[in-house]
Structure 1
Amino acid sequence: MSRIVYVNGEYLPEAEATVSVFDRGFLMADGVYEVTSVLGGKLIDFAGHQLRLARSLKELEIAAPCSDDELLEIHRELVARNDLTDGMVYLQVTRGNPGDRDFVFPDPATTRPTLVMFTQSKPGLADNPQAKTGIKVISIEDIRWGRRDIKTVQLLYPSMGKMMAKKAGADDAWLVEDGKVTEGTSNNVYIVKNGRIITRNLSHDILHGITRAAVLRFAKEAQMVVEERPFTIEEAQGAEEAFMTSASAFVMPVVAVDGASVGDGTPGPVAKRLREIYVEESRKAAI
């Protein structure tokens, strides 16, 4: 069965789902995106993704393509039409198609934003075998633009970072700026030191992760101590544990950084417990 994709008000077979070559998302990377996970046919952390989307659009002065209620309905309709049990719903909003290429923003009164959404099936999403073994990361220089808090479609350097990691025999890359870790290529990152969970504080330097917010809330409710500050690669290598969070990976243990084992080189108790709590509580709150 062909996957059904949503494009500007229409549900179409993926082979028929297209946008203009003059769309600013294609020409200028002038757009934002969100990815919402689906477990058991229900949306995880949807309200958080919806709020962050609204913030990203506001920061870039792109009009919302539809109301919040309509956005939820489209998500649910795509899940239903694609018979999605476990996986993700990808959403992308661009400034639209002004009919030609120009650096100047088009008049929003005459150029409507483009809204594209599609599903990705990931059976057993919550049972990723890597969660039991952990992943290995390398460090690379963070040379992205300064507004990483806006979830834009400018993903070339994160893609390059993942390829650098792959070539080095690792699973992902941690980005480093001024000697301190900012985040992973597509995730927020953490270490556990002296029993404390340490993660970089929110600013323009990192994405304000929806999974990050939920995990830190659950950690505090479980009486874990959280310290929000930057840390170095050397600190990570000497930590008791390390892990990362994202909408699709949930909580993923990190067992090696630049070739050095973290702790005993296996997933630690804090990461494992937070993953259990996150999956359990997310399933309860899914809509």
Structure 2
Amino acid sequence: MSRVAYVNGSYGPLSDAAVSVEDRGFQFADGVYEVWSVFDGRMADYDGHMSRLARSLTELRIDIPMTRQALTVVLKETIRRNRVRDGIVYLQVTRGAARRDHPFPAPGTPPSVVVTSRSVDQTRAEAMARKGVAVITQPDIRWGRCDIKTVGLLPNVLAKQAAREQGAYEAWMVDEMGLVTEGSSTNAWIIDQNGKVRTRDTQANILKGVTRTAILDLLEQEGLELDERPFSVDDAKQAREAFFTAAGAFVMPAVSIDGAKIGDGKPGAATLKLRQLYLEQARRDAV
């Protein structure tokens, strides 16, 4: 079955989907996006992604394109038309199409809205999680507002490609002080030698991951101690366990960093437990 996309009010074949060449998302990366995991045809962490979308649009002064209720209908219909049971649904909203000029276009220019959905092989993802994956480090060269989920992802793309070329799954960004900020498309975590779960606080202009927030709640439920502060690359290499979180990766164990084994080089028990708990919760609460 050919895939279906929603573009500015219409559903149609993905192969025919198009926006204007003067869309500001294409010209200036002037837009935002969200990705929901889909379980059994339903969206996980629905409210968290919707809230972050509204914040991103507000921070960039992009008009909210439709009501939350209407957008939900579009997301669910795109999932349905693509017959996705387990996978993702992707939403992108830009400032719209207008003559190319750096300042905002005239008031009333309608935002562009694109939604796509596709299936994901969860069997492969589970096999990867059981084995664990490698991460590398890269200098963090992104702009200073990484808390906004903008489509301007070129530094992330370069970091992810560097990981692929080195046989790794993910790249962790490192700031000028040698501290890990986050992954190219994930939030980074370790469990240190004292058994504390550490991840960088979101006051440092990193993305407030929706999956990250869900894990913070699970840590409290499980009685695991959280130490919300930065960690260095050396801290990660000396950690008991490491993992990263994202809508597509869920909770993914990291078993090496820059070729150095983390712990015993296998996914840790606490990480695998958090993954299991998160997946159970996400499936249960999906809408």
Shorter-chain TM range is: over 0.9
Structure 2 counterpart of 1:222, one-letter code: E
TM-score w.r.t. the length of structure 2 is: 0.97
Aligned: 1:208 with 2:195 = no
The match for 2:106 is 107
Shift of 1:15: 2.1
Contact 1:56–1:150 (Cα < 8 Å) also in 2: yes
> Secondary structure of the equivalent of 1:84?
coil
Structure 2 counterpart of 1:224, one-letter code: L
Runs of 4+ residues over 6 Å off in structure 1? none
Change (3 A) 1:171 1:126: closer
Distance in 2 (CA, whole Å) between partners of 1:9 and 1:204 is 37
> Secondary structure of the equivalent of 1:203?
helix
Contact 1:86–1:125 (Cα < 8 Å) also in 2: no
> Secondary structure of the equivalent of 1:266?
coil
Shift of 1:169: 2.2
The percent of aligned pairs where both chains have the same amino acid is 48
Q: Which residues in structure 2 correspond to 1:1-287 (within 5 Å)? A: 1-98=1-98, 100-109=99-108, 111-124=109-122, 127-177=125-175, 178-193=177-192, 194-287=194-287
Shift of 1:125: 6.3
Distance in 2 (CA, whole Å) between partners of 1:203 and 1:125 is 36
Structure 2 unmatched ranges of 5 or more: none
Shift of 1:71: 1.0
Distance in 2 (CA, whole Å) between partners of 1:125 and 1:91 is 25
Deviations 1:89-126, CA, capped at 9 Å, x for gaps: 0100000001x1100111232x1100000002113268
> Secondary structure of the equivalent of 1:18?
coil
Distance in 2 (CA, whole Å) between partners of 1:282 and 1:81 is 22
Structure 1 counterpart of 2:154, one-letter code: L
Shift of 1:165: 1.2
Structure 1 window deviating more from structure 2 (134-143 vs 124-133): it is: 124-133
Deviations 1:16-48, CA, capped at 9 Å, x for gaps: 211000000000000000000101111100111
Distance in 2 (CA, whole Å) between partners of 1:203 and 1:91 is 25
Shift of 1:137: 0.8
Q: How many residues align?
A: 285
Contact 2:82–2:118 (Cα < 8 Å) also in 1: no
Contact 1:44–1:283 (Cα < 8 Å) also in 2: yes
Structure 2 counterpart of 1:246, one-letter code: A
Distance in 1 (CA, whole Å) between partners of 2:138 and 2:125 is 29
Deviations 1:207-239, CA, capped at 9 Å, x for gaps: 100000001101111111111000000000000
> Secondary structure of the equivalent of 1:175?
strand
> Secondary structure of the equivalent of 1:129?
helix
Structure 2 counterpart of 1:180, one-letter code: L
Distance in 1 (CA, whole Å) between partners of 2:118 and 2:32 is 18
Contact 2:44–2:286 (Cα < 8 Å) also in 1: yes
TM-score w.r.t. the length of structure 1 is: 0.97
